[in-house]
Amino acid sequence: MNDAAPLLACENLSLDLGGREILRNIELQINPGKVLGIIGPNGAGKTSLVEILSGRYAPKTGKVFYKGKDITDSHLYERSRIGIGRTYQAPVVPEDLTVGQTLKAARQAYKPNLTRFDAEYASDLVNFVVDESVPTSVLDTFNRRKLSLACLLLRGPELLLMDEPAAGLINSEIDEIDEILRMLSKEMNIAVMIVEHRIELLETIADNVIVMDAGEIIAQGHLHDIIDSPVVRAAYFEAVD
Ligand SMILES: Nc1ncnc2c1ncn2[C@@H]1O[C@H](COP(=O)(O)OP(=O)(O)OP(=O)(O)O)[C@@H](O)[C@H]1O
Ligand SMILES: [Mg+2]
């Protein structure tokens, strides 16, 4: 491990899917205690970037580094073990288990020494208050997102890659998710990368923002410094209604 290195960094990432260029020359860094927002119109390549950083897609060119170590060829599960957690645009929970069984499976999967008290602690951190006998299949989107996050927190992640964590939520729920993410970042020092469609949702939470369009980074910096740039307005605001 290299202490001076960013927690996660990537350089010159490109990706082709189905014979099409999806990402081009992506470079970014993510650090502990910071929230990096990734915004851009539909099809900009945001989810594809998460897929590469989490290890589901292999890039065509470029490298991904974690604590200075090249992890470009590491699998999803290896990245999970070293502290990289991810959530999905559509929240994924096992449909045939109860809440209690899901939390038990999550704690046993990576850290068999964790107890039900650890699961309760992780649930408390994300305000997940659903009885453990409830089948996960009946959970609404908000509770699915919270349960997925509680399961991830049981692994003690240092980095969370979150693909549209506010999708499908109403405003009061989004405010609660924001509070949770702020706590994870600022109090637990977790590095958080949030893909978000709506720029206003990053305003209160992101330390830095990267704007993507058509597979490229077209701007980055503090939201207030880039929001009025002509290139961002042309690509983003004219594309989103
Ligand atoms: N498996 C695939 N095969 C071919 N093309 C794909 C595949 N997955 C995604 N794409 C294309 O790659 C581009 C980027 O998709 P991606 O899902 O990364 O965008 P996004 O920014 O996450 O969009 P959204 O805001 O709609 O979630 C889109 O044009 C999409 O159609
Ligand atoms: Mg997406």
**Cβ–Cβ under 8 Å, residues 39 and 236:** yes
Residues facing residue 194 across a β-bridge: 37, 162
Chain segment 28-58, per-residue pLDDT in tens? 999 999 999 999 989 999 999 999 999 999 9
Residue 20: pLDDT band by 50, 70, 90 thresholds? very high
CB atoms within 10 A of CB 174: 16
pLDDT computed for residue 34 by the predictor: 97
User: Is 47's C-beta closer than 6 angstroms to any atom of ligand 1?
Assistant: yes
Which residues, at least 6 apart from 51, have a Cβ–Cβ distance to it below 8 Å? 57
Taking the C-alpha atoms of residue 195 and residue 191, their distance in angstroms, rounded to an integer, is 13
Separation of CA 41 and ligand 2 centre (Å): 9
Confidence of residue 83 (pLDDT cuts 50, 70, 90): very high
φ/ψ (deg, to 5) at 193 = -110, 120
Residue nearest to atom 25 of ligand 1 (CA): 42
- Give distance in angstroms: CA of 40 to centre of ligand 2: 9
Average pLDDT over residues 65-85: 96
Residue ranges and CATH numbers for the domains of the chain are: 1-83+158-167+191-241 (3.40.50.300)
Judged on CB neighbours under 10 Å (0-12, 13-18, 19+), 216 is middle
Find all residues with CB under 8 Å of 233, minimum gap 6, and list them: none
Q: Say which range, 3-7, 24-28, 83-87, 203-207, has the weakest mean pLDDT.
A: 3-7
Average pLDDT of span 179-195: 96
Q: Which atom of ligand 1 is nearest to the CA of 197?
A: 25
pLDDT digits (tens, 9 = 90+) for 121-167: 999 999 999 999 999 999 999 999 999 999 999 999 999 999 999 99
Instruction: Please state the pTM of the whole predicted model.
Output: 0.94
User: From the CB of 40, is ligand 1 less than 6 Å away?
Assistant: yes
Longest dimension (CA), the chain: 53
Is 1's pLDDT higher than 60?
no
pLDDT category at 239 given cuts 50, 70, 90 is low
| The predicted structure's pLDDT at residue 136 | 97
Write the CA distances from 204 to 2, 160, 197, 198, 223, integer angstroms: 31, 18, 15, 12, 10
